Structure 1
Amino acid sequence: MSQTQEHMPSSMTALTIRLDDELFAVEAGRVREILDLVPITEVPNAPDFVGGLINVRGRVVPLADLRVMFGMNRPEPDKDTRIVVMEVDMDGEPTIAGILADKVHDVTDIEAASIEEAPRVGMRWRPEFIRGIGKRNGGFIIIPNMERIFETPGARTAPVAASEERSAS
């Protein structure tokens, strides 16, 4: 049994979204709501991946643009652009975040048997950001690894570096 299938239930209920010209699936159980585009507050010096902050019912929520992580085109928002508000694990803590979607399609079941590991060659994305690739209606659905994508770069090494700095002085 592949590593991907070990971590997948017999089927995955997923919300399918379009980013650029690709179909992606996020776990439907993690989705809190789907919003029309709302005003986005840019954050100075934030990484490109963090599109800014949005207000979701009085709560400040970070907004991520997965297209940046996958090296995709970033078209201007249009009438189909949506924000998918979902729960992601960031450094072991459940956190609410928004992701931009060029279009939200539907909720569907993806059978675990139809999900395969991402090939190591021929991919245009970093394989560690992909949990698997599902097949549906003759096409492919990319299942991103949201935990890996949302990991804070350097978060685990910063305390170690600081303690080493202190002990060196």
Structure 2
Amino acid sequence: MPEEQLVTFGLGSEEFGVDIMLVQEIIRIPPITRVPKAPSFVEGVINLRGNVITVVSLRNRFGMEHAEETDLSRIIVLEVNNKVFGIRVDAVTEVLRLEEDAIEPPPSVAMGVDSHYIRGVGKIGDRLLILLDLEHIMGGEMSHESGN
């Protein structure tokens, strides 16, 4: 049975999963430099070993209320379509394997999260895991470089 390996994380009371193959690393929250005129969901940029990386607030992206940073807050550094960026999450929970038959297509009204950010819902026992479509998280804002 084909399966996916996921990194799971919490945002508020919801639990989300991203494909582990897209995850470069998980880091504590460093100082974040704000960027003028960036979209509201872009928190700013960080310096990760000499590389400047955009950090997205998933809470802002999903229209959730702001939450204070805690000891569990993390940035998951991802590479999607050759673009490296970070997503700020409330807590990283675990790495797990999910069989493909435990993944359902996203519901039409997707638990308060815009459904085009979701590629499916995973069922683990009585838990539901929202599987994110990371290509849409950044939207068109990152998919084309400026100066064209």
TM-score, length-scaled by structure 1? 0.80
Shift of 1:103: 0.3
Structure 2 counterpart of 1:127: 115
Match of 1:33 among 16, 21, 25: 25
Shift in CA distance, 83/153, structure 1 to aligned 2, threshold 3 Å: closer
Structure 2 counterpart of 1:116: 104
Match of 1:98 among 76, 79, 86: 86
1:76 aligns with 2:88: no
- What is the CA RMSD across the aligned residues, in angstroms? 2.1
Shift of 1:54: 0.5
Shift of 1:72: 1.2
Shift in CA distance, 154/97, structure 1 to aligned 2, threshold 3 Å: closer
Deviations 1:131-159 (A, max 9, x none): 00001131100011100112324967x99
SS for the counterpart of 1:80 is coil
Unaligned runs of 5+ in 1: 1-8, 163-169
CA distance in 1, matches of 2:129, 2:32: 28
The count of aligned residue pairs is 147
Structure 2 counterpart of 1:3: none
Larger Rg: 1
Structure 1 moving runs of 4+ over 3 Å? 153-156
Aligned 8 A contact 1:88 1:150 in 2? no
Shift in CA distance, 122/19, structure 1 to aligned 2, threshold 3 Å: closer
CA distance in 2, matches of 1:135, 1:35: 27
Shift in CA distance, 122/104, structure 1 to aligned 2, threshold 3 Å: closer
CA distance in 1, matches of 2:50, 2:143: 27
Structure 1 or 2: more helix by fraction? 1
Deviations 1:89-126 (A, max 9, x none): 2xxxx111011010011110011101111111363121
1:152 aligns with 2:140: yes
Structure 2 counterpart of 1:20: 12
CA distance in 1, matches of 2:143, 2:20: 28
Unaligned runs of 5+ in 2: none
Q: In percent, how many aligned pairs have the same letter? A: 36
